[in-house]
Amino acid sequence: MKKKKAALAVIASAMLWGTYGSFLTLIEARGMSATVINFLRFAAASLPILLYLCVKDKEALKVRKGDRWLFAANGLASILFFTLCYAAAIRETKIATAAALLYTAPAIVLLLSALLFAEKLTPRKIACVLLSVLGCALVSGLGSGGAALSLRGLLLGLGAGLGYALYSIFSRLIQQRGYSAFTNVCHTFLIAAAAYLAIALFDGTAAQITALPGATLLSVVCGLFTGLLAYLLYTAGLREMEPSRAAQLATIEPVFAALLGAVLFRQRLSWTEILGVALVVAAVVGMNLRRAEKSAEG
């Protein structure tokens, strides 16, 4: 029963992550910039964790001087870069396309892990990477006879995938130095929130926080659901299952994002785009299944 509840928790977290594109589209329609939305989102996700650690585990907030660059890189080179690209990709294309391109991240993680952590590249892993590339090509409109995706949209989507992948890389390095997941998320999200606040103050969009109370409230709700709650559910699920299984279950995110985009905003998908989404998800599942097999053999 515990394992079933854990699986449901991970699935729920992936579905919550899949609502981000819809939240972004709804809030931007109210006139709020993505910069302010993401500041409020990361502030809403990190401040409760910060408060919790201040009360329950102050030691978890401490970061050694030599490791500060890792948290800064995780907040800026991964989270900030990823969300900037993803928000722009959603505006340039549509939610389903952006979500599918985002899920090139596991393939990027695979390649970076081979370079940085000497992980072995097996034929099956390489096949999954190629499958992911084919899926992205179909999502971009190849084979449909139309220009469903511009070069700018493609690059933004792939940039989001790269930033998302870097989060896994930096988080692994942070964990190897003995820091908890709570420490990682708290500091990483706070840095991302501070960066977005600095941008909002610089371009004057910070005034939207008080000028657009409805959008501000929606952004905070977005942060609580797609940041804080999604993270807590995923963490709860990980207590009762191996990470590879959790990652496999989380691949429903782009599918759920695509369905929401189609239902809420009537963003119709062609058969080739649907096939592309399916291939990207299949590639991710294939890589995670391989990891699960390796864990079972060990």
One-letter amino acid identity for 179? Y
Q: How far is CA 201 from the centre of its chain?
A: 25
Query: For the residues 27-50, what does the mean pLDDT come to?
Result: 94
Number of domains into which the chain is organized: 1
The pLDDT tens digits for 128-165 are 777 877 776 676 565 555 445 788 888 998 899 899 88
Question: In the numeric block, which tokens belong to residue 229?
Answer: 């709650």
Domain of 172, in residue numbers: 2-297
96 contacts 269 by C-beta, under 8 angstroms: yes
What is the spatial distance between Cα 37 and Cα 247, in angstroms, rounded to a whole number? 27
pLDDT value of residue 43 = 96
| Comparison of pLDDT for 54 and 262, the residue scoring more | 54
| Comparison of pLDDT for 2 and 39, the residue scoring more | 39
The pLDDT tens digits for 96-132 are 778 778 777 767 777 787 787 777 777 877 787 778 7
Query: For the residues 61-90, what does the mean pLDDT come to?
Result: 93
HSE (side-chain half, CA atoms, 13 Å) at 206: 12
**120 Rama class: left (phi>0) / alpha (psi -120 to 50) / beta:** beta
In sequence order, the 6+-apart residues with CB closer than 8 A to the CB of 258 are 95, 96, 99, 100, 269, 277
This model's pTM is above 0.85: no
- SS3 label, residue 75: helix
pLDDT exceeds 70 at position 93? yes
Please state the length of the chain.
Answer: 298
Residue keyed to tokens 């990682």:
184
